[in-house]
Amino acid sequence: MTDTTTAAPAAAPEAPARAPITRLWVYARQHLRLLLIGGALSFAGGIVGLVQPLIAMDVIDTLSANESLTRPLLYLTAVVVVGGALTALGPYLMQIAGQDVVLTVRKDLIGRLVRLQVAEVDRLKPGDLVSRLTSDTNLLRTVASTTVIGGVTDVFMILGGIGLMAWLDPVLFGTTMAMVAMVTVMMLFIMPRIQNATVDSQKALGDMGSLLERIFSAFRTVKASGAEDHEIARLEGAATTARDKGVKASLWEALAGVAAFMPVNIAFLLVLGVGGARVASGAMEVGTLIGFLLLLFYLMGPISGLVASLSQLQTGLAAIHRVEEVANLDSEAAQGEPRAAASEGPAGVTFEDVTFRYAEDLPYVHHGVTFASSGRGLTALVGPSGAGKTTVFSLIERFYPVTTGTVSVDGVDVRDWPLEDLRGVIGYVEQDAPVLDGTLRENLVMAAQDATESEIADVVKTARLTELVEKLPDGLESRIGYRGTTLSGGERQRVAIARALLRKPRLLLLDEATSQLDAANEASLKQVMLDAAERTNVLVVAHRLSTVTSADQIVVFDAGIVRAVGTHAELVEKDDLYRDLAASQLLTAA
Ligand SMILES: Nc1ncnc2c1ncn2[C@@H]1O[C@H](COP(=O)(O)OP(=O)(O)OP(=O)(O)O)[C@@H](O)[C@H]1O
């Protein structure tokens, strides 16, 4: 996949380019050996089962002849044991292959999902993606194993039976084929409807997941808004749609059963009528008619088996369709040559006449942004809400590509950096300072898995987290809840800063929270920031007067352009907007 911006926003991924059946084959092919061995063993188990009545006959004959039963009984025991073992082992191996297919699909999907471009995730619903990974892939388990193998076996048996019929009597064969053609036409009509109903049903499940995710991501707000009944009604609506579409799929499956059964029965009657007349006229032997009827009777099993397999296949194809839609999404590709010798010290940032919009149908956010920040120190980005300050960070991290102009880090265009290397030099603290479910330690080492105990202890101290660690029941090993719900806003921000610092960034991007903090927390955060600025280049989207007054350089943004650059004293002197910002609540005093 390419590393490009996306066009129009949409609620769901687009339809896949490749036919689902081709994709199913691509996934199943990787486990073909196990599938074939399992299928062959099941088939052999069936054959051994057929031998059983013959040996039973032998037992009876031996009994009547008053001979020793040892030999036939040994055979019978062997057939029962081997047949039992084969009929257990064959389906077991096919189930393993089915699980392996699901694992392959899931691994593929996991890789794609986690590497999706930020722009794609902006327009998708996470709950729906979760249901594609969990529920849809599960539908493939049976389809990729027993259904396909069973279906193929049935096709061979049907072809064999049809060949024999043609050999026995061409007239009766023609009559039967007319009925087979009827079955085929009806199946062509019914099968896509099963698939569509299953896609709709799975989509409703995805909607349910999205709605649930929506609620839990703002759980307190939902409760505080008294919106539970409304949200429950929406969730139940999606659950009911899933049920209704599931019932619709079952109805089409039932019709498929009837559509297969009826013509075969009509064929039975026709063969009896036409065949009877031909026997009466002497055009055909009675034995041939009986043989033909027996063949038709024998074919009923494989035909209904094939129809059931085809119905099941539609479910699998529906699932593949939804899984493949994710494959169409743009994921991030590592680009550019690896940087030669990694540089040391603070990494500078340069914006040169940058224009940018989030999507082609959205207005420009940056209209030619130019500024630079290099060396140790603190650069504060200030400006009215929506001026495009946070977007500066997204462009530095290459979450989105610029439309025109250049963003450089360490003198190199971000487009020429291998993504992993680029992000490796940056520590980024988002405005809402996300903390993930897990322990405090897991949260800290997220960006630096090989951090040592002393490095962790250092950042805990630098980020003023020592008190928190001492307060928590299990120290660093304490769980801090879904989205860090057990922490205060200020603690969450310091955890996020500690995480970014543990990466030993050469460039620290800090999006200051707009929410008010108490004086102690505010002072702590400011001190953490200033400490970091002594060692590296720190860019901060500033919302507090105390931050900008300490900054070495202030960049004033207004409606997507840089209108002034300077120190606090210089800007108060020369820039009207800055003076207003400093005097208003847009830059709040502690
Ligand atoms: N992912 C996105 N998709 C589409 N538009 C976006 C996206 N993120 C931000 N925007 C829009 O881009 C503009 C600039 O947003 P940005 O977050 O950079 O502003 P800001 O100056 O940081 O504002 P604030 O001080 O309120 O955080 C806003 O109009 C915003 O609505």
* Atom of ligand 1 at shortest range from CA of 122: 1
Residue 44: the pLDDT is 86
3-state SS record for 214-272 = HHHHCHHHHHHCCCHHHHHHHHHHHHHHHHHHHHHHHHHHHHHHHHHHHHHHHHHHHHH
Residue 3: the pLDDT is 43
For ligand 1, atom 24, the nearest C-alpha belongs to 385
Residue 10: the pLDDT is 38
Encoded tokens for 254: 């039932």
Within the chain, how many helices (H) and strands (E) appear?
22, 10
Residue 517: the pLDDT is 63
- Model confidence over 246-274: pLDDT tens digits? 899 899 989 988 888 888 888 888 888 98
Could you give the C-alpha distances from 471 to 440, 466, 475, 478, 487, in angstroms and in order?
12, 9, 7, 10, 11
For ligand 1, atom 12, the nearest C-alpha belongs to 365
Q: For domain 20-327, say whether CATH 1.20.1560.10 is its number.
A: yes
Question: Are residues 498 and 451 in contact, defined by beta-carbon separation less than 8 angstroms?
Answer: no
Encoded tokens for 36: 């074939």
Residues of the chain with pLDDT under 50: 1-11, 341, 589-590
- Of 82, 79, 105, the closest CA to residue 26 belongs to 105
Residue 515: the pLDDT is 62
For ligand 1, atom 2, the nearest C-alpha belongs to 358
For ligand 1, atom 17, the nearest C-alpha belongs to 390
Please enumerate in sequence order all residues whose Cβ is within 8 A of that of 137, keeping only pairs 6 or more positions apart, or say none: 102, 105, 106, 109, 319, 323
For ligand 1, atom 18, the nearest C-alpha belongs to 388
**Same CATH topology for 20-327 and 349-583?**
no
- Of 567, 434, 447, 575, the closest CA to residue 511 belongs to 434
Residue 431: the pLDDT is 86
Residue 14: the pLDDT is 54
Q: Which residues line ligand 1 (CB under 6 A)?
A: 122, 358, 362, 365, 383, 385-391, 541
399 membership: H or E segment, kind and range: none
- Model confidence over 530-547: pLDDT tens digits? 888 988 999 999 888 888
Question: Are residues 549 and 570 in contact, defined by beta-carbon separation less than 8 angstroms?
Answer: no
Q: How far is the CA of 365 from the centre of ligand 1 (A)?
A: 8
Please enumerate in sequence order all residues whose Cβ is within 8 A of that of 310, keeping only pairs 6 or more positions apart, or say none: 151, 187, 191, 256
Question: Are residues 480 and 443 in contact, defined by beta-carbon separation less than 8 angstroms?
Answer: yes
Question: Are residues 249 and 315 in contact, defined by beta-carbon separation less than 8 angstroms?
Answer: yes
- Of 193, 188, 131, the closest CA to residue 325 belongs to 131
The one-letter amino acid code at 500 reads A
* Atom of ligand 1 at shortest range from CA of 400: 1
State which of 116, 369, 381, 390 you would mutate to test the pocket of ligand 1, scoring each by most atoms of that ligand within 8 A of its C-beta: 390
Q: How far is the CA of 173 from the centre of ligand 1 (A)?
A: 72
Q: What is the pTM of this model?
A: 0.78
Question: Are residues 315 and 194 in contact, defined by beta-carbon separation less than 8 angstroms?
Answer: yes
Residue 6: the pLDDT is 34
* Atom of ligand 1 at shortest range from CA of 541: 22
Residue 13: the pLDDT is 58
- Model confidence over 500-536: pLDDT tens digits? 999 889 999 999 876 656 677 777 778 888 888 988 9
Neighbouring-strand partners of residue 371: 351
Question: Are residues 1 and 329 in contact, defined by beta-carbon separation less than 8 angstroms?
Answer: yes
For ligand 1, atom 16, the nearest C-alpha belongs to 388
Q: How far is the CA of 323 from the centre of ligand 1 (A)?
A: 31
Question: In the CATH hierarchy, which fold is given to the domain comprising 349-583?
Answer: Rossmann fold (3.40.50)
For ligand 1, atom 26, the nearest C-alpha belongs to 385
Domain boundaries, the chain: 20-327, 349-583
> Cα(141)–Cα(144) distance, rounded to whole angstroms?
6
Residue 338: the pLDDT is 56
The one-letter amino acid code at 474 reads D
